[in-house]
Structures are given as structure tokens and as C-alpha cells.
Amino acid sequence: MTNSADERRFLPPERVERFRQDPFARRMGFELVEAAPGYARVAVELTEDLFNFAGTPHGGLLFSLADYAFAVASNSHGRVALATNVSIQFMAAAEVGDRLYAEAKESHLTRRAGFYDMTVTTESGRLVARCLGVVHRTSRSLDGDEPDPRGG
């Protein structure tokens, strides 16, 4: 599934607010910038406390930022989606003060699985990391209504 700004549909505001209230994302200072079916873009400001002993942004931070975008994109359809596999490649370092963006895009969706490409970039567009993720799509509704008996 390819998303362009022209073909994106809006998500229910309550679902977007639920994504924004994610406790870990809030603790880390992650900001949900955009959410649409199968798509998410999130951001974080790099402060000194997010760097490791080697003077680069902590790999766990980069992974978590991409994972938050992945979680929003994969749960955007209203069914609980659980990660089964995520891989990350670190491409470049960023600096204190940089604003990083993680973007997750759905590449393939089935009744039981979803496949996502994620990137982490600086505001200028420099690639910092890229990820691939797979989710198991449960029949459980994210919004609390009854599960779809067809699994869709």
C-alpha cells in the first residue's frame, strides 16, 4: 500500500489521541506529527541526555522512535497489531539539537500480517536509520468494539 498526501484518509480523532497518550512515547518526548491509515510520522528533539558514552544518539532511542511510528501505522486500522520482527540498520549519527523524524509506511497488508518500512531522518532529510517491521494483526479491536468475525 502506497500512501500519498492526496489519498490518505483521516483516522478517528479518539484513536489519534490514544496514540498521542502512549506513556513511553510521552516519557521519551516523542511527538506524533501525522497519522493516517498505514502511515505515521513522529519526531523528537535530540538533547544531550539522549546520547550514549560515544557521543552519538543512543541506538535504543533511534529504535524506539522508529518503533513508535511503526506502532501507530500498524494499529491505525483499528485492530491490535503486535510486532513479530523488526530489524534496524544505523546509517549515520545526528547531533545535539537536531530534530529527528521517524516515518513508517505500510508496504503490504493481509488479514493476519502487516509489513512496514521505517526511516529515521534529520530535519534536513539525512538518513540516520532504516528499519523493516512485521506485525501480527489480531482480531481484537483497538477501539473497544467487537472484533470483526472475518478478521478484517
Angle at 131 between CA 125 and CA 102, to 5 degrees: 40
Euclidean distance between CA atoms 12 and 27, whole angstroms? 24
CB contact set of 33 (below 8 Å; sequence gap of 6+): 41, 42, 43, 101
Please report the beta strands in the chain, taking only residues with DSSP state E, as ranges in sequence order.
Answer: 31-36, 39-45, 79-90, 99-109, 113-122, 127-141
Q: 97-129 pLDDT, tens per residue?
A: 999 999 999 999 999 999 999 999 999 999 999
Owning domain of residue 64: 13-141
pLDDT at 50 over 50: yes
pLDDT digits (tens, 9 = 90+) for 53-112: 999 999 999 999 999 999 999 999 999 999 999 999 999 999 999 999 999 999 999 999
Residue 103 belongs to a domain: yes
Residue 62 gets the label, from left (phi > 0), alpha (psi -120 to 50) or beta, of alpha
Q: Does 113 map to a domain?
A: yes
Higher-scoring residue by pLDDT: 37, 9: 37
- Residue holding cell 538518513? 127
| CATH number of the CATH domain containing 131 | 3.10.129.10
Q: Does residue 3 belong to any structural domain of this protein? A: no
The verdict on residue 151 lying in a domain is no
Assigned domain for 34 exists: yes
Residue 118 has what pLDDT? Answer: 98
CA distance 65 to 42: 7
Provide the mean pLDDT of the chain. 91
The answer to whether residue 53 sits within a structural domain is: yes
Alpha helices (H) in 12-119, listed in sequence order: 13-20, 23-28, 59-75
With bands split at pLDDT 50, 70 and 90, how would you rate the model's confidence at 43?
very high
pLDDT band at 136 (very low <50, low <70, confident <90, very high): very high
Q: What is the pTM of this model?
A: 0.89
Domain count along the chain: 1
| Residues 20-42: tens digit of each pLDDT | 999 999 999 999 999 999 999 99
**pLDDT tier at 140 (50, 70, 90 boundaries)?**
very high
